[in-house]
Amino acid sequence: MPKPGRPRSQTAVERQREIYLDGVGAQRPLVPAASGESLEAAARRVMSPEAFAYVAGGAGLGHTLAANRAAFGRLQIVPRMLRNVEARSTSVELFGRTLPAPLLLAPVGVLDLAHPDAERAAARAAAALGLPMIFSSQASVPMEQAAAEMGDAPRWFQLYWSKSDELVASFVRRAEACGCEAIAVTLDTTLLGWRPQDLDLGYLPFLRGMGIAQYTSDPVFQRLLDEPEEAAAPSARPSLPAIRTLLEMVRRYPGPFWPALRSGRAAAAVRKFISIYSRPSLTWDQLGFLRAHTKLPVLLKGILHPDDARRALDAGMDGIIVSNHGGRQVDGAIAALDALPGILEAVADRVPVLMDSGVRSGADVFKALALGAKAVCIGRPYVYGLALGGEAGAGEVLRNLMAEFELTMGLAGCASVQEIGRECCA
Ligand code: FNR
């Protein structure tokens, strides 16, 4: 359980001391101190095989997952000495906000796979630290409910561009209304990648009514549900597992159970979601629609080519998140960290460039910043923390990453983020 009165901002030394002092009382941390393989292994022990496969899995043979890690492995920090790093500041400015560290919670869907409190718990963990959480389009909890956990702490919304422009506009309107401060449009998932871990289990959470809460809570989506469906193929006599899945869907659908079951609306919502959640025909021309529908900064997530970064600027976008979706989409894709320098060169400081995919330590955060990223998004590690200890577990993972980043920065000879540059790495 989280200890009440935990400081909102904790220095690295305080975090170390906390862990060591807890150890004196034989109290072990909720999560491993390293946020890589040991954290993943610990989470695996408490998650169902299906949930773990969905979170940990990557596309194809896992080459992109491996490339993300290998890229961090190739870059090496070259610490400098005698530079007075007694006072250290990890804070950064992003879209007018001062963040305590250059870290955001990446949009990760279906967080109830990790913990029943799902986005609510992650939102509280993020807010307690002042780190922005990016609400996923595929969340298990409507954005308004997650936002309600956050007070005035920063949050963004991640958009999957639906086949319905009206639904896109509605999502953006709701994001603005619940205090989101930026929209990140994810471009790399117009189709779901080939994910053997999930395919081998025949498991896709959305088909069980999981991860579609933004849709079922949306007035436009509800109206679309009222439209007559295309005739569904006649189904065979349902098996017992299929009936169980249907009941699961109904349980997750908002409102009372029996009407949702009897009317078939919960199952219809899943079918409607599948038919409209993504638009593979999307092109650059359509970004203007979003620009016209929001005053919020818009970032493009999933950019890996410098020419696409240039096009993003031409389209009036306000930022870029270099990402290969944590290796979940294209197997054999370029590591996000390897794509970063070319994109930074193309962008030439005109908008902030963030990155994610494979960040597993404070040292990784330092390396991404040394190449020129403004901040990084953390994906799986906080989800594993959530699986291990809900809000407190996710919070520990984030505090560990913040502490390790601060120590790495200081030990490398930098007193502030502004001092981290390309010369810090070989
Ligand atoms: C994701 N990611 C993701 N991205 C997005 O834009 N919308 C989404 O709904 C999701 N959902 C999602 C689910 C799961 C289980 C994972 C692991 C990832 C991608 C995510 O935002 C981010 O790009 C990666 O997770 C970053 O890589 P690491 O940190 O997980 O290696």
Does ligand 1 have an atom closer than 6 angstroms to the CB of 195?
Answer: no
Dist. CA 35–CA 20, nearest whole Å: 18
Dist. CA 416–CA 108, nearest whole Å: 29
Rg of the Cα trace of the chain?
21
Kindly report the protein residue whose alpha carbon is nearest to atom 3 of ligand 1.
Answer: 108
Does ligand 1 have an atom closer than 6 angstroms to the CB of 355?
Answer: no
**All residues at 6 or more sequence positions from 414 whose CB lies less than 8 Å from its CB, including other chains:** 83, 85, 420, 424
Q: How many angstroms does the Cα of residue 106 sit away from the middle of ligand 1?
A: 6
Asked about 325 being catalytic, the answer comes back as yes
Of residues 226 and 232, the one with the higher pLDDT is 226
Does ligand 1 have an atom closer than 6 angstroms to the CB of 193?
Answer: no
Can you tell me which atom of ligand 1 is nearest the CA of 211? 9
99 phi, psi to nearest 5 deg: -100, 145
DSSP 3-state of 139:
coil
Kindly report the protein residue whose alpha carbon is nearest to atom 9 of ligand 1.
Answer: 109
Does ligand 1 have an atom closer than 6 angstroms to the CB of 109?
Answer: yes
Which of the following is catalytic: 63, 115, 293, 325? Answer: 325
Q: How many angstroms does the Cα of residue 55 sit away from the middle of ligand 1?
A: 8
Q: Residues of 275-284 as b/e, b for ≥16 C-beta within 10 angstroms?
A: eebbbeeeee
The pLDDT score that the predictor gives to residue 235 is 65
Do 325 and 188 contact (CB within 8 A), yes or no?
Answer: yes
Q: Which two tokens stand for residue 315?
A: 């389209």
When pLDDT is averaged across residues 106-115 and rounded to a whole number, the result is: 98
Do 37 and 426 contact (CB within 8 A), yes or no?
Answer: no
Does ligand 1 have an atom closer than 6 angstroms to the CB of 102?
Answer: no
- Surface-to-core class of residue 345, CB atoms within 10 Å of its CB (0-12 exposed, 13-18 middle, 19+ buried): exposed
Q: How many angstroms does the Cα of residue 345 sit away from the middle of ligand 1?
A: 25
Q: How many angstroms does the Cα of residue 105 sit away from the middle of ligand 1?
A: 10
Q: Which two tokens stand for residue 219?
A: 């007035």
Largest CA distance in the chain: 75
pLDDT in tens, 52-74: 999 999 999 999 999 999 999 99
Bridge partners for 77 per DSSP: 425
Q: How many angstroms does the Cα of residue 326 sit away from the middle of ligand 1?
A: 6
Dist. CA 12–CA 34, nearest whole Å: 14
**All residues at 6 or more sequence positions from 175 whose CB lies less than 8 Å from its CB, including other chains:** 135, 143, 156, 157, 159, 183, 296
Dist. CA 116–CA 138, nearest whole Å: 15
Q: Considering only CA atoms, which of 360, 384, 381 is closest in space to residue 43?
A: 384
Does ligand 1 have an atom closer than 6 angstroms to the CB of 400?
Answer: no
* Ligand 1 binding pocket mutation candidate from 103, 158, 325, 357 (most atoms within 8 A of CB): 325
pLDDT in tens, 264-302: 999 999 999 999 999 999 999 999 999 999 999 999 999
Q: Is the pLDDT of residue 1 over 90?
A: no
- DSSP element (H, E) containing 300: strand 298-303
Q: Which two tokens stand for residue 407?
A: 């120590």
Task: Return the amino acid letter for 310.
Answer: R
Query: Of 93-107, 120-134, 249-263, where does mean pLDDT reach its minimum?
Result: 249-263
When pLDDT is averaged across residues 234-252 and rounded to a whole number, the result is: 86
Q: Is the pLDDT of residue 88 over 50?
A: yes
Kindly report the protein residue whose alpha carbon is nearest to atom 25 of ligand 1.
Answer: 379
Dist. CA 162–CA 317, nearest whole Å: 19
Dist. CA 225–CA 273, nearest whole Å: 9
Residues in the chain: 426
Q: What is the pTM of this model?
A: 0.97
Can you tell me which atom of ligand 1 is nearest the CA of 65? 31
pLDDT in tens, 145-176: 999 999 999 999 999 999 999 999 999 999 99
* Ligand 1 binding pocket mutation candidate from 35, 108, 277, 322 (most atoms within 8 A of CB): 108
Do 321 and 312 contact (CB within 8 A), yes or no?
Answer: no
When pLDDT is averaged across residues 194-216 and rounded to a whole number, the result is: 98
* Ligand 1 binding pocket mutation candidate from 141, 321, 328 (most atoms within 8 A of CB): 328
DSSP 3-state of 353:
strand
CA end-to-end span of the chain: 41
Bridge partners for 303 per DSSP: 322
Do 135 and 175 contact (CB within 8 A), yes or no?
Answer: yes
Q: How many angstroms does the Cα of residue 352 sit away from the middle of ligand 1?
A: 20
Dist. CA 91–CA 152, nearest whole Å: 18
Does ligand 1 have an atom closer than 6 angstroms to the CB of 35?
Answer: no
Q: How many angstroms does the Cα of residue 264 sit away from the middle of ligand 1?
A: 31
Highest mean pLDDT among 9-13, 127-131, 240-244: 127-131
Does ligand 1 have an atom closer than 6 angstroms to the CB of 329?
Answer: no
Can you tell me which atom of ligand 1 is nearest the CA of 134? 21
Q: Which two tokens stand for residue 222?
A: 């509800």
Q: Is the pLDDT of residue 418 over 80?
A: yes
**Mean pLDDT, all residues of the chain:** 96
